[in-house]
A = this chain, B = another copy of it.
Amino acid sequence: MPAERTKGADITQQILTHATRLFAARGFVGASLRDIAKAVGIRKPSLLYHFNSKDDLRRGVLEKMLAHWNEVVPRLLKAATSGHEQFQAVATETLEFFRADPDRARLLLRELLDRPEEMEPLIESHVQPWTKIICDYIRKGQQQGRVHPDIDPEAYVVHMINLMVCGVALHDSMIALMPAGDDGREQLAARTMTELLRFARAGLFIDPAAAREGIEAPGPLPEPASVSGKEPSPER
């Protein structure tokens, strides 16, 4: 019975998808089960057959997002330990995780506001490793004299995460501050992200330009870094 199983799992995924969208847009209490079911194209009791309660659905949505995050973390670790442009790689990889689906950032933000104490263990388990890696990287850079000596690594990393998560989540609102007369939304987004990475580098490295061009022993020259330099990530 692979067909049935497939179908059931398919509906479950559809529910998760639309629930993610609506939770991100209206919040957990603001998005009703009826609306989510309607978006999927079923009735509310059918939805409750797949998820026993609304809170079950919330956990499912969160788990799905964290599962995706767990997929990118290994790439982050690998990028962080590879020879060159470690910072750029980790930053763009993390940023792209949220940019790929801004609802992730909005959902995370809402959960942090609604249930901070409940999110704390998740933060510790899922982003603590990330943090530790970057902090080690920063301290190493400080010893080598490439990174500003007066940085507070943990605090710096907190601000970086803040910039990436909230920057994506609130981007549509934030660009109201930018003279949008000539540029399209896409171009504004690119400007914002470019400046974010420049900002992050400038706050970290003593010589950002050098850091961008290849940090340690002279090696293979990376291409002039634009927004996405590392991965052959698809340009929309």
User: Most chain-B CB neighbours within 10 Å: which of A151, A157, A174, A175?
Assistant: A174
Output the nearest chain B residue to A157 by Cβ-Cβ distance.
B177
Q: Which of A22-30, A35-43, A44-52 contacts B (4 or more CB under 8 A)?
A: A22-30
Question: Once the chains bind, are B202 and A155 in contact (CB under 8 Å)?
Answer: no
Asked if A9 is an interface residue, CB under 8 A from chain B, the answer is: no
In the assembled complex, the CB of A229 is this many whole angstroms from the nearest CB of chain B, namely 7
How many copies of this protein are present in the complex?
2
In the assembled complex, the CB of A45 is this many whole angstroms from the nearest CB of chain B, namely 23
Asked if A66 is an interface residue, CB under 8 A from chain B, the answer is: no
Interface size on A, residues (CB 8 A): 67
Question: Once the chains bind, are B128 and A173 in contact (CB under 8 Å)?
Answer: no
Asked if A73 is an interface residue, CB under 8 A from chain B, the answer is: no
Question: Once the chains bind, are A222 and B29 in contact (CB under 8 Å)?
Answer: no
Question: Once the chains bind, are A162 and B167 in contact (CB under 8 Å)?
Answer: yes
Asked if A13 is an interface residue, CB under 8 A from chain B, the answer is: no
Main SS of the interface on chain A? helix
Asked if A59 is an interface residue, CB under 8 A from chain B, the answer is: no
* 53-68 of chain A: CB within 8 A of chain B: none
Contact with B along A97-128 (1 / 0, CB 8 A): 00000000010011011101001100110011
Give CA–CA (A173, B150) in the complex, Å: 24
In the complex, which residues of chain B have a beta carbon less than 8 angstroms from the beta carbon of A174?
158, 161-162
Question: Once the chains bind, are B123 and A113 in contact (CB under 8 Å)?
Answer: no
The 19 sampled A-B contact pairs (Cβ below 8 Å) are: A26-B114, A112-B170, A112-B173, A113-B170, A123-B173, A128-B177, A148-B202, A150-B222, A150-B231, A152-B191, A154-B191, A158-B167, A159-B167, A159-B192, A161-B177, A162-B163, A162-B166, A162-B167, A165-B166
A interface residues, Cβ below 8 angstroms from B: 26-27, 29-30, 106, 109-110, 112-114, 116, 119-120, 123-124, 127-128, 131, 139, 142-143, 148-159, 161-163, 165-167, 169-170, 172-179, 191-192, 194-196, 198-200, 202-204, 222, 224, 227-231
- Enumerate the 3 nearest inter-chain pairs by beta-carbon distance, A residue then B residue, closest first: A155-B195, A166-B166, A154-B178
